[in-house]
Amino acid sequence: MRRRLLLGLLALAPAAGISPAQAQDGPQPKLPTEPLTIVTRDGKRHEFQVEMAIDPQQQMVGLMFRPSVGPNEGMLFDWGQPRESSMWMRNTITSLDMLFITQSGVVLRIAERTVPRSLAAISSNGPVRATLELAAGTAERLNIRVGDKVEQRIFGTAR
């Protein structure tokens, strides 16, 4: 599965006008940001400004080579439609929390404190519309759990 995902991403690189080697030389410039709110089951609202990774090139590079992610920042990978999501930490030098979010904006799965530079696949374990990467420890610090709601325009839940 991981090999298929990698081959699929590498196959998209030429269409995006880059070679696979170029995509992995360093961090990509900061992407446009949008607001995102996570509403926990106790009604607390946690506001973030997230970079929007919407095209294959942006998604392939993601947060690779970034030395840190701010406490109210992150990156939202918009897959466009629900699908299985499989991520890895190749060339990602800081630990992350990954939230896998359904089409309706519900957190399906959380992978906490991922291992930097790991090639292990981190799967959504079901169809999701998006994957949100936050600084490691954010889910625990804010008590974010599976079933919490995400408000953001791509889910049709933005206020």
Q: What is the pLDDT of residue 125?
A: 96
Instruction: Write 70-75 long-range contacts (CB < 8 A, 24+).
Output: 70/135, 71/135, 71/138, 72/47, 72/48, 73/48, 73/49, 73/134, 73/135, 74/36, 74/48, 74/50, 74/132, 74/133, 74/134, 74/135, 74/138, 75/31, 75/50, 75/51, 75/132, 75/133
CATH of range 2-155; options 1.10.3720.10, 3.20.20.120, 2.60.120.1140, 3.30.1380.10? 2.60.120.1140
Q: What is the pLDDT of residue 153?
A: 96
Q: What is the pLDDT of residue 2?
A: 39
7-60 pLDDT tens trace? 344 333 333 333 444 445 788 889 999 999 999 999 999 999 999 999 999 998
92-123 pLDDT tens trace? 999 999 999 999 999 999 999 999 999 999 99
Q: What is the pLDDT of residue 15?
A: 34
Residue spans of the domains in the chain: they are 2-155
15-30 pLDDT tens trace? 333 344 444 578 888 9
Q: What is the pLDDT of residue 26?
A: 80
